[in-house]
């Protein structure tokens, strides 16, 4: 099965246009790239080949320990994704105050970059620092990977903490998220518990997939652990029940990448082909349990969190101001606003990422 490529031609339109840059031309280029991926996804849907194409587009393994996967590149170079992590980290660090021992549970730790930043920030914090225990959950296959596996990520974080003279330990849980039970998480008395959901909840099936609502079931299980704080970072788009409207969202993501990545760079091509195109294929061409990209808008997440028994914990103004200062170093087309205690990050008038905190 051939993979998508961002320079593919669709009906005579060339997606690697080299004309002089302008805002209008950039928009047309972006539309062409999105159209190319959408057409491929629709073709796969008609041919009932979405599942195979989706598997073919899974993010590749990094070739060495010092080269991140395409998804990691996306999280680091697309400011809205980065700001989402920063907002969550800010809320987590505030929860550390006056605590001697803190336990963080992350249900999709990815490459762990969120915690590199968190540990570095914690090391600069004046006063006594708590002992931090991080439990990272990932699927069983990823744990044993020679490059970027869960155990290796834990070893790197432990080494970083040692270099920063922080008290830290890492606990790897090799399990599918839906099968995680409180017992394997190893919560201990005297620890302040923090749970982080960063781009994970939308992968959980909900009531539109099965009578067993794994999404809400997970939230209720976490509530039963009595966490001090739960942070949620999600994309603000409905690909769950209104996926036909996702093109505007992805267009804004593509345009925002122009502020940080050259269109013809290898990183840009990998991000588009290995990650964004993969998501578009899954949204458009896959059905039932095969479709795992089931994002929801901020209001829907608020409703789910409330139904699970959580109440909103506004992210502090200090965190917002710090991010606002950083935004100005990128482009004035990036936006941040506070709404119902959450921070909304967007490109121009389109909100892309929402970070919220709950207790």
What is the residue extent of each domain of the chain? 23-358
**Is residue 13 very low, low, confident or very high in pLDDT (cuts 50, 70, 90)?**
very low
**Is residue 20 very low, low, confident or very high in pLDDT (cuts 50, 70, 90)?**
very low
Superfamily of domain 23-358: Vaccinia Virus protein VP39 (3.40.50.150)
149 pLDDT above the threshold of 50: yes
CB neighbours of residue 92 within 10 Å: 24
293 pLDDT above the threshold of 70: yes
3-state DSSP assignment of residue 129:
coil
Cα–Cα dist 63/77, whole Å: 19
Q: Note the helical H segments in 172-276.
A: 182-185, 214-224, 246-257, 266-270
147 pLDDT above the threshold of 70: no
Instruction: Average the pLDDT over each of 67-71, 175-179, 241-245, 263-267 and give the range with the smallest value.
Output: 67-71
Is 30:254 a contact under the CB 8 Å cutoff?
yes
Residues 176-195 pLDDT 10s: 899 999 999 999 999 999 99
Cα–Cα dist 148/142, whole Å: 8
Of the two residues 33 and 200, the one the predictor is more confident about is: 200
Listed residue (229, 227, 240) closest to 356, CA to CA: 229
Rg for the chain, CA atoms, rounded:
20
Residues 42-75 pLDDT 10s: 666 656 555 565 555 444 343 333 334 677 778 7
Residue 181 is classified by DSSP as -
5 pLDDT above the threshold of 60: no
SS3 readout for 281-298:
HHHHHCCHHHCCCCCCCH
Token pair listed for 36: 């190319």
Residues 101-118 pLDDT 10s: 999 999 988 788 899 999
């Amino acid at each position: 099965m051939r993979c998508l490529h961002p320079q593919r031609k669709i009906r005579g339109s060339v997606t690697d246009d080299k004309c002089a840059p302008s805002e209008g031309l950039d928009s047309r280029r972006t539309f062409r790239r999105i159209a190319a991926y959408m057409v491929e996804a629709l073709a796969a849907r008609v041919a009932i080949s979405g599942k195979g194409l989706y598997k073919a587009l899974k993010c590749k393994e990094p070739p060495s320990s010092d080269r991140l996967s395409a998804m990691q590149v996306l999280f680091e170079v697309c400011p809205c994704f980065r700001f989402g992590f920063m907002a969550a980290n800010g809320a987590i660090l505030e929860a550390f105050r006056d605590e001697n021992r803190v336990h963080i549970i992350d249900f999709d730790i990815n490459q762990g970059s969120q915690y590199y930043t968190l540990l570095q920030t914690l090391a600069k914090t004046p006063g006594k620092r708590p002992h931090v225990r991080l439990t990272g959950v990932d699927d069983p296959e990823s744990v044993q990977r020679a490059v970027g596996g869960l155990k290796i990520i834990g070893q790197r974080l432990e080494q970083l903490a040692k270099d920063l003279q922080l008290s830290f330990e890492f606990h790897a849980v090799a399990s599918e998220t839906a099968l995680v039970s409180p017992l394997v998480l190893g919560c201990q008395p005297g620890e302040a518990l923090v749970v982080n959901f960063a781009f994970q909840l939308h992968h959980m099936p909900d009531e539109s997939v099965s009578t067993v609502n794994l999404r809400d079931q997970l939230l209720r299980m976490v509530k039963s652990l009595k966490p001090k704080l739960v942070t949620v970072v999600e994309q603000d788009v409905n690909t769950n029940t209104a996926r036909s409207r996702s093109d505007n969202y992805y267009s804004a993501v593509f345009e925002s990448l122009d502020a940080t990545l050259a269109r013809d760079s290898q990183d840009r091509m990998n991000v588009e082909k290995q990650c964004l195109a993969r998501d578009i294929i899954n949204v458009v061409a896959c059905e039932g349990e095969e479709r795992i990209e089931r994002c929801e808008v901020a209001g829907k997440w608020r409703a789910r969190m409330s139904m699970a028994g959580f109440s909103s914990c506004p992210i502090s103004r200090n965190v917002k101001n710090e991010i606002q200062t950083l935004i100005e170093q990128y482009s004035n087309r990036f936006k941040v606003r506070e709404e119902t205690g959450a921070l909304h990050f967007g490109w121009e008038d389109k909100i892309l990422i929402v970070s919220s905190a709950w207790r």
